[in-house]
Structure 1
Amino acid sequence: MKKIISYKMVPIYIFAIFLGAMTGYLISVKQNEMEREAKSAKYEKPFSIQQEALAKRADFYKKLIFKTKYLENGEVVREEQKLTPSLYGKSKEELEKIYSGWKVIKFDDEEIVLYREKEGLPPDYYIISVVDGYVALLKSDGNGHKEIVEKTDIPLESLTPFDRERVMKNIITKDKDEAYQILANLSS
C-alpha cells in the first residue's frame, strides 16, 4: 500500500498553508485599509480663484473639529480634520447652513469647532439589557439604534434583585470583553 503523506513533504505542506494564510491576511488588511480610505474620502467641487487665493494664506492650517455629545451617557466624541478648500473664506453663518444640525461654538484663526447633541450612545458601545424577558447583549450604532449581538438564556427573573434592577436600567460598557465578563457574572 502506498503512503498518502510523505514525511519529507510535511514541511512543504506547512509552508504552503502558512503562505496561503499570510496572503489571505494581507489581502484582508489591504481591503480594510481601502474601505477606511473610501469612508474618509471627501468629494469637493473645484474651488474658485478667491478660494485658491485664501488657500495660499495660513487658512489651510486651520482645523475643523466636530464634537458630538451623546445624551444617553454624556460622552463627547471629537473628530478632527483639516479645513477643506471648499470652506475657505466662509463665515460662521455660512458654515452653520452647510452643516445643518451643527452649531458653530468656536470660530477663530486656529480652529472651527462644530457641536451637536444626539440621542443614544456613541458607536460600538455595548449594552446589557432585557429582550423578551431574557438578558441580552446589544451594540449601539451611534445613531440612537441598538442591534442585538447575543440573546442569552438567562431569564430576568433568575437574577438577584440588585442585578435585575441594573439590567433593567441597562449596563453600558465600551469594551466587548468587559460586557461578556458581566454576562458571565450574571449567569453564575
Structure 2
Amino acid sequence: MKRLAAAIILVLLGAVVLGVGAYFSYGIFNNPSQKPEQLANTALLPETPKDTDIEANNIKEEEIVKIKPYTKMIYEYYYKDDRNTERSEEDPPHFMIGKTKEEMEITFDQWEIVKFTEEEVIMRRQMEGSSAQNYIVGVQDGYVAVFYNEAIDGAKIKEITDTPVSALPEDERQKLLDGISISGEEALMRLLEDYTS
C-alpha cells in the first residue's frame, strides 16, 4: 500500500510539474506585449533577423545611381575675376559611363557635384582668371603645357602638367607640337582632362 501511495504521489507531482511548465510556456508564446527579441533571448525560439538587416539585403545594385550613356553632363565654371558662370552641356565621355557619385568625387576632386541622377549630373568648379582668357596648349620639357596667348605679367607659361607627351598617341603629340588654341578656362580644363584621363 505504501508503494501504491508513493507511485500516486509521484504521478501527481509529475502532472503538477508538467502543468506548471505548460502554463508558463503558453504565457511566453502568447504574450502580445513581449517583443520578438525577448523571445529569441529565451532560447526557445530561433533569433529573428533585425529590420535593418532585411532592408540592407533588399538593396539591389540597380538602385545605385550610375552615369548612363543618355545622362546629361552639365559643367558649370565660375570665374572669380569677372564673377561669370559659364555652363556647358554634353554627353558623358566613355570613361564616365557606369561611375557612381562616390567614384566621380574621387576622380574629380576639384569639382563640386551639385546634382547626380541618371538623367542629369551637374558639376561645378571655381576658376581663376576671367572667362575670356585665350591659351595655347603645347609642349614644354616633354610635358603637356599651357601657355598664355599673350604674356601676362611677363609670363608666357601658365602651367606645366604631369602628363608626358610620350604617353600620348602620335597624332595628339603632333597637335600639341603645333599648338592648340583654346579660348576660355572651360575649354582648357576639358582639353586637359582629356589628356590626363
* TM band (smaller chain): 0.3 to 0.5
Output the TM-score relative to the length of structure 1: 0.35
Output the TM-score relative to the length of structure 2: 0.34
